[in-house]
Amino acid sequence: MNIRTKILFFVLTVFLFPGFLISCKEETNEETILLYGRAAAAYSQGHFAETASMLEKEQNFYPAKLLRAKALYFSNNVDEAEKLLRRTLRRNPGSGEASLFLARILREQGNDQEARRISEALLRDNPQDIRALRLASDLAAQEGDMESAAALLDRAVEASAESALVFVDRARIRWSTGNGSGALEDLYRAEILLPWNTALSRGIRDLRTTINAREALYENQEH
């Protein structure tokens, strides 16, 4: 395999599967990383059974075990996925992603008590974890506690504001480099993530109006 292909696999695994970087403490070799890259590519294309089969013999590399568990789940092999996630968490107890995926499986199986315990532990470690907040809200709604469910989703909406600021930052850079359409797209995405009629969302709407007006002016000047 040539060096360009190896780099492509590395980029794919890092950006599509962030858990890859958690493995930096584990001993890995080039063959393992390349196998993981091929499996990640198969997973991203929806070939879940193939992904699970490719990683069957990989017992030590955390990202591979997590990816195989997800592939097993989406191949309707839920029991095996649960067992693998539990084994993975015994060796990597701090894995939030594995914990969350296990909690979702338990929720689907009706084991709400353990799913709630996992979601609460995740939120103690990271109160801004949007995925854990959504899961906790779902569990509260299942129990009929709609007030708590709504409050948890309110917290998730507040946490999403940080993501909105990422789009705002990129919009600023795009606008400063002459990419007005890209800036408008980012501002639109940021506005969707923010609660309606906050100071920031109003500022974003005003900025979109300004950019739209300037873009129209530039277009008229070119004609």
pLDDT of residue 28: 62
Q: pLDDT digit string (tens) for 4-20? A: 443 343 444 444 444 44
Q: pLDDT digit string (tens) for 27-63? A: 567 888 889 999 999 999 999 999 999 999 887 888 8
Count H helices and E strands in the chain, helices first: 11, 0
Q: Domain ranges for the chain, please list them.
A: 1-75, 160-223
| Half-sphere exposure at residue 187, Cβ-oriented, CA atoms within 13 angstroms | 24
Q: pLDDT digit string (tens) for 154-180? A: 888 788 777 788 888 999 898 888 898
Cβ-contact 62, 19 below 8 angstroms:
yes
pLDDT of residue 115: 93
The secondary structure element, H or E, covering residue 132 is helix 130-142
